[in-house]
Amino acid sequence: MYNVRCVYKVVTCVMGLMIVFAVAGFFLAGCVGGQIREDRRIPLVEDTSQSGNQTDVDFDINYRYRFRQAGPQQPGQLELEFNLKRKRGFYSFTAFVNYLDAEGQVIGKNSIYSLGNRSGVVHVSEGPFETPPGTVAIAFTSVSRDFKSRQ
C-alpha cells in the first residue's frame, strides 16, 4: 500500500514545477530579453506616420505611430495612437508596446493599456515614449487574467 501523504507530496511538487515552468514560458515572450516571433514584429519607419492592425488571442489593436530617432545609437521617440478591443471579459488585462532590436529581442517596453483588478478602471497611455537605442521594430503583447482563473 502506498503512503498517501508521500504520494500527495510528490504530486503537489510536480504540479508546482509544471506551473512554474508554464508561467515562466508565458512571461518570457513579452519580457525584456525575450524574443518576439518574426510574424509579430512591426518594422519602424522613421519620420512618417504608419498604421496597421495586429490581432492576438486576447485583443485586436488598430494602431498608428510616428517614430523619430537622431541616430542608431541614440534613444528614439515613438508617438502612438491606437484603438484596442479586448476579445472577452478579463479580471485584469495589460497591453504593452515592446521595443525590439534587429534579432527581435525585447530591449524595452511600455504599458499602453491597463484594466485594473475589480475596479473596471481603464488606463491608456499613448506616449510619446522614449525607445531604447537600437530599436528597429515594435510588437504588441499582453498579460491577462480572465474571470475563471480568479476563482
Q: What is the 3-state secondary structure (H, E, C) of 16-69?
A: HHHHHHHHHHHHHCCCCCCECCHHHCEECCECCEEEEEEECCCEEEEEEEEEEE
Q: Given the C-alpha cell 488598430, which residue does it identify?
A: 62
| C-alpha to C-alpha distance for 51 and 44, rounded to whole angstroms | 11
CA pair distance 112, 84, nearest whole angstrom: 10
Per-residue pLDDT band at 86 (split at 50, 70, 90): confident
CA nearest to 28, candidates 37, 17, 38 = 37
Rounded mean pLDDT of 101-121? 86
Q: 19-64, pLDDT tens digit by residue?
A: 433 333 334 444 566 899 999 999 999 999 999 999 988 899 999 9
pLDDT of 119 above 50? yes
Give the strand pairing for 137-146 and 129-131: unpaired
Q: Is the full-model pTM beyond 0.75?
A: no
